[in-house]
Every structure is written in structure tokens, then in C-alpha cells.
Structure 1
């Protein structure tokens, strides 16, 4: 009888121990806070911010990185000494570098050259190396080629984000949101607002709401230069913009495999100046700096709340603090940088100030 046995007991034992390390890290970490965003009580609409910046690596991507590592380990794609390579605009790379260092693995992040210096420093602090490319549309292809040449593993967040996370529950972000809302006056949110980078978070939340038979609707906000919005409008999901997003962590030049448009109830295109204006306005309200993608989320949430008020509807809206603004001190919080990008925040800030005053929206 012919037989071929490829089992390496030492490698299997290493994978078992690696999974235990990743799981132990999750067990040590408390859940992230759900923070109320102050709005007039008589509006009857409550806004909550799920603070993903409190993860050990400071962003929403910590959840994704953990799931991707577990997925790759259980699939046999990562073993002792495997070089892990990722295509990332920054935050995913910071989180993956954290887990790679935990497991004693080399890590390389392939990123657009314009990624903020603060994020590059964070990746290097976690023991990773950065491979910068000028053309942001070539990041994934470059990462795939680099992993092949090194005999490593390309993590490929844009393909595997939606399948690496258990959308039915198992402590995912959607399950956490609903559990934390249980004692609020509107425990089932009318809307959840998120951006899309990989599309994994929107897929998880949209699927979970349907699985639990909740009436919650999902709104995806999309920055300038991203393909998700024009693809959703046109129905052409092969569409490519050929440009990268100025708002780090969300937006893609093409529609990625993890993006699931059928679970999205509404999409909103958000100008970059509006994202930064909302980021700064939100920071003033919560008393600490928020990241650019959080500003995109807030702009979408404010518009939805104004629509609810205009139609006399009460309820709750949830969105995310994706990361902290400390990573963008030299970019989004720099007036010189903003001016150099040709962005005028003032008209959008006026819209936000009016909304926070009387709940109206243009």
C-alpha cells in the first residue's frame, strides 16, 4: 500500500504552542469600551463610539491581525521561522508585527511611501521591517512577490479578512457591540457606521446583524479615491480607480475580495476635507485626538442622525474609533500639511458645528 506522510511533529508542536500564545494574549485583553458621544437628550438619538484604539497595538486592526494569524496557523501556512509579509497602509502592519514578534517570526510590511512616519516607527518598534513603494496600487502585488522570493507567507488581509473572523459570534466586534448596548435606552442600534479597507469589519457586522435577525442597518463610508463607492453605485465590482486613499486604513483603489456589498444597506462618499473636519470636531468633543478614518465614520454618523431627527425617528447609532490621532500629528493635525494637500476644512466644519447645535444637515 502506497503511503506519503508529511507530518512534521516538531512543526506541529510549534504551531500548537503558537496558537496557545495568541489565544492567551486575547484572554489577557479586556474588551474595548463603548463610549457615548454627547448629544442633546431630547433628540432621542444616541451615538456611541466603539473605542478600538485601546487595543494593545492601538487600533481596530488588532482584532484582524489576531484572526489572520490564527487562520494562517490553523491552515498550516505559518510554521517555525516563516517570514510573514503583509500589504498594509499602516495599522494592520503594526498589529501583525506585534503578533509576529510574539511568535518569534520575521515580519515585513509593504506600504505606500506616503504612509505616516509615526506608523512606520510603530511597526519598527514592534520588530517589523518596512518596504515602501511609490505606487500604492502595487502594494499587494509587491507583497506577494516578496513573500514568494523569501519563501515566506503573504498574509493577504484584503482576501482573508472576511473569512478569518467568525461572523456568527465568538467574541467578534459585532457581538461585543450588541452586548455592551444591552442596558441602554435603545439597545438595538438603528445603524452601524464603518469604513472599508479590507471590508472585513463591514462583512462581520452586516452578517452578524442578519444572523441574529436584528433590524440594524449597515452604512459604509468611503473616502476620496476609493473604488468601493463608485463600484457600489454602478454595480461594477471590477472597477478600479488607480489611486490610493488619503485617509489611512480605509478606501482601496480596487474592490477587495473581503468586501461584501450585499450586506451593506447604504454607502456614503465622504470628501477628505470632511473626514478631517469631523476628526478634529470629534476630538474636541471627546477630549483626545482621533484618527482620520474615525472622522470619516463620524461624518457618516452625523448625517444619519440628522436624517433620523428630520423624520422623527429615535434610536441609537454606533460607529468606531479606529485608531488614535497621535499617529497623524505631522499630517492630519498639521495645518501646513492640510494646506499642502489643497484641503479646506472650514465649510465642512461649519456643517458639523451646525449639526451639533440643532441637528440639521445640508
Structure 2
């Protein structure tokens, strides 16, 4: 019994530390994005203001909090995740806050640049090939260490709160009259929390989800096939999946907008030009979707506020979506989509290039 009491005491202390970290940060700020004309407003909630530079900071905190409350993470236990993106940095931050060992299993060959921010936070990175082997390897590491495999795709949707004390509550406290909220889907957790909050509060806001090429979310939503899969990876970091993940809840989504990958690149560059933030492609996809919605509202003579997210920002994106060489290497030409954005922001109509 003594050990059980000690474990519960540690859990309460650890969750208290996570809650205190959230309280110290306060709400992330809103950034206006200039639109032509009157009546339609576009705001970006800047999640890059988090200490680890992105939206995954919230998800990591929620995952740790939930896993501790469920008894999956225990005092001194190793935390393991299979991820190649920002989630590893955010989770390493939370692990350090709680004094826990952390291992990120990443796809591909050893990449010191990708591993550096995790290792600087005291975490360990292990690279494996083929890329899809990261999930089995993460489970193996967790089993070998007696630790917890976080498994964000299975747990984030359950962990991220939708009743008011996370991104949904913050966003609607700042913009209570939002007509549309535009986000991407990675694990599906952010979209699910926003959609649930809207229904919980009886709000008029509608939820739009942008989806990149090769992702299963848009065709799965359109066809109603919960097992839809493309088997192809997304070129846009942080959003899109080769299969319909369990955390994506189609019933909560009012509209899905497929976004060409080159449009995501053009959108990221447009956000940087307007705000100075070197955002990633997921934020670029958010902008493209938000502008399409804004154009639709304007064409109908409607008014309203559209809110989206700056999912993350950082210098590393200057070597990615903001670099012409990177785009060319991916076979992407953002110029036609940049022209669409420029024409619209100058007061012209919205006309997408032929594909």
C-alpha cells in the first residue's frame, strides 16, 4: 500500500507541474492577417509562441498528463514515442520537466540536425529503417525499459481537453464570434477538440480541416470509409496521414479542403511575408484553406471571422518550404499558387491554377 500511495503522490505532483507550466504561459497571441475589402477578418492564433515553438507543445503536455493519470507513465519510467517531427521536441521538454528518461524513435538514417533539439533537452533519439518500423521499435523499447509508449495517434484525441482548458477554450475565449476555424489534421486531436467544444457550447462556428496530397483524411471523410488508406507519406510536415487514424473524427468536421502541396509551400511563404514568422507547410495549408473560405464568403456577400493556427515556426523551415532548392527537390512549383494568393490579396478574385 505504501508504494501505491507514493506512486499516487508522484502522479499528483507531476500533473500539478504540467498544469503549472500551462498556467505560467497563458494564452498564445492572435495575429491579424490582412485581407482585401471589408466584412471578412482572418486571425492566426500563434502556437509558435510556446517554448518548443509549436502546437505539439499542447499535445505533448496533454499526452503526459493523461498517461500519468491513467498509470501508464510512472515515477522514473522511460517515455517512448515514434515520431519524426516536432512532437519529439515537445515531449522531450515535458519529460525533462518531470525528470523522466525520454526516447524518440525516428524514421530513416541518423540525422544529427533532427536529433539535436531533442538531445539538447536530455532526450535520446534512435533512427530506424524502413520508416514504418518506428512503431514496432518504439513498442520494443518501451517493453525493454518497462516504460510507456505514448502512441500519439492512439491517445492524443482522448488526451487533449475539449471542455475549455486548452486550445479550444483559449481560441473561443479570444474570438467568441468566430464563423470558421481552419486547422490541419495530423493525429486528429486538435480538430477533434475544437469540434467537440463547438458542440459542447452550442456555438455557431464551423470547423474546416485542410488536407495535403497523399493523405487519407479527405477521401475517407468524403466517402465515409473509416478504413481508407493511401499508403503514401505526406510531403507536408505535421499534417496528412497515409491512413485514417483513430483520432480523426469525421463527424465533427463541417468541411474538408484538399490543398495541393505546392499551395502549402506558397501559403507558408505568404504567412512569412505578412508576419515575419518562418512557418512550416502545415501553416501554409491553413492559410490556403482560410483564404479559399474568405473568398467564398466575400463572393456571397457574407461577413465573419475566420481563425486558424500558426502550427509552428522556426529557422529550420528556412531550409525547407522557404527554400527554392528544397521545393524543386520535392517536385513542387509554388509560383502559380503564390500568384493566386497575391491576386486575391490585391483585391482580385480567387481562381486556382489548372492541375
TM range (shorter): over 0.9
- Cα 1:115–1:199 shift into 2, 3 Å: farther
1:24 — aligned with what? 20
Aligned equivalent of 1:130, options 96, 113, 125: 125
Report SS of the residue matched to 1:358.
coil
1:214 & 1:113 partners in 2: Cα distance? 44
Does 2:211 match 1:222?
A: yes
Post-superposition shift, 1:228?
Answer: 0.9
- Cα 1:355–1:120 shift into 2, 3 Å: farther
1:324 — aligned with what? 313
Report SS of the residue matched to 1:202.
helix
2:285 & 2:113 partners in 1: Cα distance? 20
With structure 2 as the length reference, what TM-score do the two structures score? 0.94
1:344 & 1:180 partners in 2: Cα distance? 36
* Contact preservation (8 Å) 2:279, 2:317: no
Q: Map 1:155-174 onto structure 2 (within 5 A).
A: 155-169=150-164, 171-174=165-168
The size of the alignment, in residue pairs, is 351
2:112 & 2:322 partners in 1: Cα distance? 14
1:335 — aligned with what? 324
* Contact preservation (8 Å) 2:80, 2:147: yes
Q: Give ranges in structure 2 of 5+ residues lacking alignment.
A: none
1:37 — aligned with what? 33
* Contact preservation (8 Å) 1:89, 1:249: no
Report SS of the residue matched to 2:285.
helix
Post-superposition shift, 1:89?
Answer: 3.0
1:24 & 1:219 partners in 2: Cα distance? 32
Cα RMSD (Å) of the superposition?
Answer: 1.8
Post-superposition shift, 1:119?
Answer: 4.3
* Contact preservation (8 Å) 1:189, 1:216: yes
Deviations 1:65-100 (A, max 9, x none): 111111111111111221101122311111110010
* Contact preservation (8 Å) 1:241, 1:254: yes
Deviations 1:169-202 (A, max 9, x none): 1x22111111112xxxxx4111100000000000
1:254 — aligned with what? 243
Report SS of the residue matched to 1:337.
helix
Post-superposition shift, 1:117?
Answer: 6.2
Post-superposition shift, 1:125?
Answer: 1.6
With structure 1 as the length reference, what TM-score do the two structures score? 0.92
2:108 — aligned with what? 113
Aligned equivalent of 1:57, options 27, 45, 52: 52
2:253 & 2:109 partners in 1: Cα distance? 30
Deviations 1:1-52 (A, max 9, x none): xxxx695333333222222221221221121001111123x33100000000
Aligned equivalent of 2:286, options 297, 306, 323: 297
1:11 — aligned with what? 7
